[in-house]
Amino acid sequence: MAEFDGKVAIVTGGHSGIGRATARLLSARGATVVAAGVPPTGGADAPLPGVEHVELDVTDESATARLVEHVAAAHGGLDIVVAAAGIQRYGTAAETGGDEWNEVLAVNVTGAFHAVKHALPHLRARKAGSIVIVSSVQAFVTQSAVAAYTTSKGALNALARSIAIDEAKNGIRANTVCPASVDTPMLRASARAFSDGTDQGAQELVESWGRMHPMGRVARPEEVAEAIAFLAGERASFITGIALPVDGGLLANAAVVLPG
């Protein structure tokens, strides 16, 4: 029997990056998976075989509620929620405009809240369930000029802790994964913006970012998906309220290096 046979999962942000890799992995291991989010522009990623793809603006609470109800009704319940939708915007606290601030918090934090809020009645009905939210190492440390983004990731860790405590009595677990740099379309877009705008320039910058990690490279989305699947499954049955770094040693690395 596959690990997730008989389980029903919703993955927000499931059309690209970490969310897409997670939807693929959960499906391959037996789950019925609905990937919800904004389809990538340009049609770069074809729909995953065996995964139901649904367009969703996670900031729209009523649309999220309808999706959750549809999935639970169509598949007889709900077991797993992975909140992977996210955006990145750059700017210091002084530079970030109100619209940008609200956009980042709406997608990254409120979007996750919407998915969790409307999934909880169905998870409670199972008397079990797992919620995994994609956060970031920037919940703990931060680079420059990411005021809104790093704030959103810290909030997600706090949200998961709150859910873990409130829902433990209902058999529901909630955790976050906190990746460092991951080779996703979002990272590539940032690399193009901060390089010469070419694919080659972006590749060189991604490789440079990778060398800043002790393991010498950025992560693959599939590596983060493995951590998400672990937390979503029964192997993690006594794990709740944690923030799991998937960071190639980045958080363990002191910035001061001895000479020699």
Mind listing the pLDDT tens digit of every residue in the chain (260 residues)? 699 999 999 999 999 999 999 999 999 999 999 999 998 765 557 889 999 999 999 999 999 999 999 999 999 999 999 999 999 999 999 999 999 999 999 999 999 999 999 999 999 999 999 999 999 999 999 999 999 999 999 999 999 999 999 999 999 999 999 999 999 999 999 999 999 999 999 999 999 999 999 999 999 999 999 999 999 999 999 999 999 999 999 999 987 877 87
Q: Per-residue b/e over 66-89, b at no fewer than 16 CB within 10 Å? A: ebbeebbeebeebbbbbbbbbbbb
* Strand partners for 174: 131
Gyration radius of the chain's alpha carbons: 18
Angle separating helix axes 147-167 and 111-126, nearest 10 degrees: 20
pLDDT at 259: 82
pLDDT at 39: 85
| Residue tagged active-site, from 130, 149, 202, 221 | 149
pLDDT at 222: 98
Architecture of domain 8-182+219-248: 3-Layer(aba) Sandwich (3.40)
Nearest to 251 by CA among 225, 211, 213: 213
Task: Give the 3-state secondary structure of residue 15.
Answer: coil
pLDDT at 43: 53
pLDDT at 35: 98
- Tokens 């750059």 sit on residue: 90
- Tokens 């672990």 sit on residue: 230
pLDDT at 111: 98
Q: Is 90 a catalytic residue?
A: no
Per-residue pLDDT of 9-34, as tens digits, reads 999 999 999 999 999 999 999 999 99
Q: Domain extents for the chain?
A: 8-182+219-248
pTM attached to this predicted model? 0.96
Angstrom distance (rounded) from CA 31 to CA 7: 5
